[in-house]
Amino acid sequence: MAVPTSYYVVLSAAMFCAGLFGILTRSNALTFLMSVELMLNAANVNFVAFSFHHGNLTGQTFALFAMALAAAEVAIGIGIIVTLYRNFGGTDVTIAREMRW
């Protein structure tokens, strides 16, 4: 017996809201990155759930590419965090207030 699609979508909504809460409350850049990943993966859960719902594999393939894009995003994000740490001595996003330094 398959799990109903709506349950997956509710799980995805919970993941998205957890990520949103993390972005709104934390000031550490690494926690930011984790929260963004959580929101991105919530979208992936939706893709896979609706792929199953419609019996079409487009959603699953798209989720695969979304994961690849997430990897690229993390690579650049961690690079930015390293630069942030070097220039400001920490990863608090509220300290860095300028785009150039």
Partner 1 sequence: MTTRPRLRLGRHLLPGLVAVGLFVVLAVGVLAAPLGAAAGFPAEGSLAEANVTAELADGGSVDGGSYASEFDGSTTRVTVDRGDGTVAHTLTAADVAAEREGDTTYAVVSVPADGERVGLERIPMVDHGEAAAGPGAQVEGVDRSAEPGPETGVHAVARRGSITETIGYAMFDLRSVQPLPAESFLVVLLLVAVVLDAALEAAVYLARRGDDEVLTAIGRGEEGGEP
Site residues, partner 1 (CB under 8 A): 2, 4-6, 9-10, 13-14, 16-18, 20-21, 24-26, 31, 52-58, 60-62, 64-65, 68-69, 71-73, 75-76, 78-80, 82-83, 86
Tell me the H-state helices in 1-101: 5-25, 29-54, 58-88
In angstroms, the CA 43 to CA 27 distance is 23
Minimum gap (Å) between residue 56 Cβ and partner 1 = 5
Using the minimum distance from each CB to partner 1, give the nearer residue, 1 or 97. Answer: 1
Is residue 34 within 8 A of residue 22, CB to CB? The reply is yes
Q: Is 27 helix (H, G, I), strand (E, B) or coil?
A: coil
Using the minimum distance from each CB to partner 1, give the nearer residue, 30 or 95. Answer: 30
* Angle, helix 5-25 to helix 29-54, in steps of 10 degrees: 170
Is residue 91 within 8 A of residue 28, CB to CB? The reply is yes
Using the minimum distance from each CB to partner 1, give the nearer residue, 17 or 95. Answer: 17
Using the minimum distance from each CB to partner 1, give the nearer residue, 5 or 96. Answer: 5
Minimum gap (Å) between residue 8 Cβ and partner 1 = 9
